[in-house]
Amino acid sequence: MNEWNGIAEALRLGGWVIYPLSLLAIFALAITFDRMYVWWRYARMPRDGAVRALPDEHVLRRVDMLFDDSSMPIWRIEGQVETAASQIEREMGRGLWLLETIVTAAPLLGLLGTIVGMMHSFRLIGGDGLVSPSGVSGGVAQALVATAIGLVIALIALFAFNYFSRRVDRLMDDVETFANGRIGDLRLARERSGAAS
């Protein structure tokens, strides 16, 4: 329980900058949990390679369904695959721009809290010397708390941003590999049927 009291006291010392920092932390966590759910639900790769068993909303199944019309020309299927791939990339990367912004904004807000706290401390130092030692130390504490919280938020958002950005890149490689394999199989099947007739 003492740890929670210490955290509450640190937040109180942080000053007004803690409120926008808390908002950034909530956004970062919300985006992270949302992306985790989306990846788990729609982009988890099948272990046995059974794409047909996946739900229709899964990214590989969405690409796989483009090959259902076997009479469609290959150039048309390739165009649809490219369109679907860019749409999938957009959907899977949704919200990552905000995480990237939080990575930059959180330390800057912490720095703003540092400057405000230090200005408060220096204001208490009058022309006759030190006026209020507890006031000066409180301003320094506000400066340090705001900076520390801003850095922690930025680190969490940075790790989440890098993780999901890398996952988007890997997913697009998987989609491209899958689509190229399906297009190759389709070309081979059409060549065989053309040679047989």
Burial 141-159 (b: 16+ CB within 10 A, else e): bbbbbbbebbeebbebbbe
pLDDT of residue 30: 96
- Tokens in use for 139? 């301003």
If we measure between CA atoms, which residue out of 27, 12, 9 comes closest to residue 153? 27
pLDDT of residue 169: 95
pLDDT of residue 118: 78
Helix axes 96-123, 18-42, angle to 10 degrees: 160
pLDDT of residue 72: 87
pLDDT of residue 21: 92
Mean pLDDT, the chain cut into blocks of 10 residues (197 residues total) = 60 76 95 94 79 83 86 89 93 94 94 81 63 62 81 96 95 92 88 76
For 90-135, the DSSP string reads HHHTTTHHHHHHHHHHHHHHHHHHHHHHHHHHHHTEETTEES-HHH
What gap in Å lies between CA 112 and CA 120, rounded to an integer? Answer: 12
What gap in Å lies between CA 49 and CA 134, rounded to an integer? Answer: 66
Domain map of the chain by residue range? 2-44+59-196
- Tokens in use for 102? 């939080």
Residue 94: CB atoms within 10 A of its CB come to 13
